[in-house]
Structure 1
Amino acid sequence: MLRGDLYTLEDFACGDGSATATLLLNSTHPIFKGHYPGQPVLPGACILQIVKEVLSSVIESEVLLVIANNLKFLLMIDPGLMPALAFKLTYQEVDEQFLKVTASLHFDEKACFKFQGSFRKF
């Protein structure tokens, strides 16, 4: 779990199949020393984990990423230059087990990350 260590959420709101928050990055987290030295960037795997953690929190169930139909990393997220990001997530139940999910991260109205895919509930 990365929440509380790599990132925290402020102004978290959820309801009607959606969630929004301000995602605050911990620029001193050790992951940024190795990814990449001298040019810290939030790893794509961590961004997907954040989507998973927020979705899991909203629906109060563990989830597993099954399909990433559309995954776009549009801007490198440097925690020193982009310490606060707008996080948006929407989801729709396909059946008892599967959810269609759309998520994005924005900095100053610029999209940094966009995702469309499916998760399975446990």
Structure 2
Amino acid sequence: MILQNQLYTISDHKTEGGKDIFTVALNPECFIYKAHFPGNPITPGVCIVQTCAELLGEITGKKMEIIAAKDIKFLNVLSPLTTATVDFAFSAVASDGDNTTAKISVTDGNEVFATVAFTCSAH
């Protein structure tokens, strides 16, 4: 895992209504936040997408590599100072044997920070 236990830690994982939901705690002391941006840390979009891939790996039990991004939207700023924990809700997870597709919503329950739809391959 590239970001797990550095940028975030998994606080909870549950299955609810056919969705896998991971609650993650953001680490404001991570080196990424010190660079992006000093004094006003913001989670980079690429880190949100990478976290989605790492969490999909938790679901599949395989290390996942993104091979296609279908739809990625960043809707609100995600800062560890204002949002200590965030949920990554996976829906429509499907595998054809080689590739796995998923749709993910990143939210704190009130605000949607990002939506991601992508295809990953195990490697």
Gapped runs of 5+ residues in structure 2?
none
Alignment pair present for 1:41 and 2:32: no
Give the number of aligned pairs. 121
> Per-residue displacement from partner, 1:7-53 (whole Å, max 9, x unpaired)?
11122124897421211101111211110122210011111111111
Residue 94 of structure 2 corresponds to which residue in structure 1?
Answer: 92
Residue 54 of structure 1 corresponds to which residue in structure 2?
Answer: 55
Runs of 4+ in 1 over 4 A off after TM superposition: 14-17
Gapped runs of 5+ residues in structure 1?
none
The amino acid that maps onto 1:46 is C
> Per-residue displacement from partner, 1:65-112 (whole Å, max 9, x unpaired)?
11111000101111100111121113111x210111101110242110
Alignment pair present for 1:64 and 2:70: no
CA separation in 2, counterparts of 1:45 and 1:70?
Answer: 13
| SS of equivalent to 1:96 | coil
